[in-house]
A and B are shown apart, each in its own frame.
Chain A
Amino acid sequence: MEEFFQQLTNGLAVGGIYALIALGYTMVYGVLKLINFAHGDLFTIGAYLGLTLLVSMGLFDKIGPLPAVILLAVMVMILVAIIGAILERVAYRPLRQSPRLSAVVSALGASIFFQNAIMAIYSPKFLVYPHDILPKAAVTIFGLDIPVMRIIMFLTSLVLMAALYFFIQKTKIGTAIRAAAIDQGAAKLMGINVDRVIMLVFCIGPALGGAAGLMVGLYYGQINFSMGWMFGLKAFTAAILGGIGNIPGAMVGGLLLGVIEALGAAYISIAWKDAIAFCVLILILIVRPTGLLGERVAEKV
């Protein structure tokens, strides 16, 4: 029983990361109906930029760990947001009026480009974040040893998700985003500058993905140019699981997928873990394509 709860906490920690990345996917899909294949690579860029900034600026020696991490997070998020906006402008905006397939191929091309650019700029090797930045202590809750950092990561994910949710639901700009997601034409008629809204979405989504990348780099320590691929695909699964276009859905989907993976690894087999995740994806799409929290959309053959 103890193992079950331990695996549960493992799953929730990983699920928090999936959820953060999934938020980026779901926001972009909601507004543009586009699967941004390059999103996983924006996550990777966040991790790499974090490393570069950390090492080159030597922040920890100057201001101490906690302020440094926050400053680092803010910087990474801004930088990745800018890259996200550029990506939208270059690769997706010209294809707004084209068939959906063109945008998908463009997204794939952008993903390949980013991955190889990272490899060319940084090197194909695994890069390592400096150690001893984060506390390594573990607390004991209900008899389970949980490292403090995992709890902090999980809480950070929740805070960011909650902040996004309130932004989308309660602010004027958030309403504009929701309007554009429902009907771009009508939104334009209401005086909403849809281009700007889309650019904003492409700033927020990638920023969250970049933050997730930084967290992964800081906590796990090791980054590699191809890590965006698996994380991205799982995050997309999570977004669909929760209901694509639906922000609470992405959160729920991410956490749920993390837990399913951890329990699948524990009780079925570690080697088939990823296959289990994909099976979940396929099952959801067959049985309930709108996801757990999504609205019903009529889809008839």
Chain B
Amino acid sequence: MTRGTAHRAAAMSVMGGALILLALLVLPVAALVWRGGAEGVRQLGSDGELQHALLLTAAAATSATLVVMLLGTPLAYLLARNRMPGGSIVAALVELPLIIPHPVAGIALLLVFGRGTPMGAALARAGLGIVGSPLGIGLAMLFVSAPLYVSAAREAIARVEPRYEDVARTLGDTPWRAVRRVTLPLAKRGLFAAAVVMWARSVSEFGAIVILTYNPKVASVLSYDRFTAFGLDAALPVAAVLVLLALVPLLVLRSLRSEARATTSAP
């Protein structure tokens, strides 16, 4: 085999592998939209239960994501700069929820925030019970997807060289100002990507949510419910519409990311 042929063969196998995986990921989603998309869009206008489910899903996922961005970015920063005491243990602990089976995660949340615990009882008295409430939905979403945000945010911040912060400090910035004026803007793109991943994961969660909150129904619970009660033909439109609607914010966020990219390329 000549060198040219060997190169071409290598290039083709790389492309081949990529296409196989792409097909594996795209075809099932395309099939879903193909079979249920039209009916789902039709139902959207008239089906109040569907509308509520979609709105609830989006609102809960967005709230959970915002909360985690607020609380998780500092944690990600400390981990990225190796300033977290017990750093690698903390990082491992943060990732634990990822390996817990989802229904088990829901039960785990009940063990801490359920009515039977002091904290849970206080929450319930304050009207903040997590069973059968949107709060429970957001909590379940947060629990299963926050690890994704923290890991990705940590990577994004670690990619910004600490020296930039050092320089900013020699120019008079306090540590917080240096992070705010230099590190976060430079990490913006990666932080957006992390938020998108977390949001998407939240939207698709089922097992952890359904244990805590069956009613009001999020889209995943509604879809499964309709499958059980009425069959595939009733479930597919819900799932298809969820996919179509989720594309909108995902695309918006991706375009924000590429905007951010234009202004913050690394040196």
Q: Do A and B come from one complex?
A: no
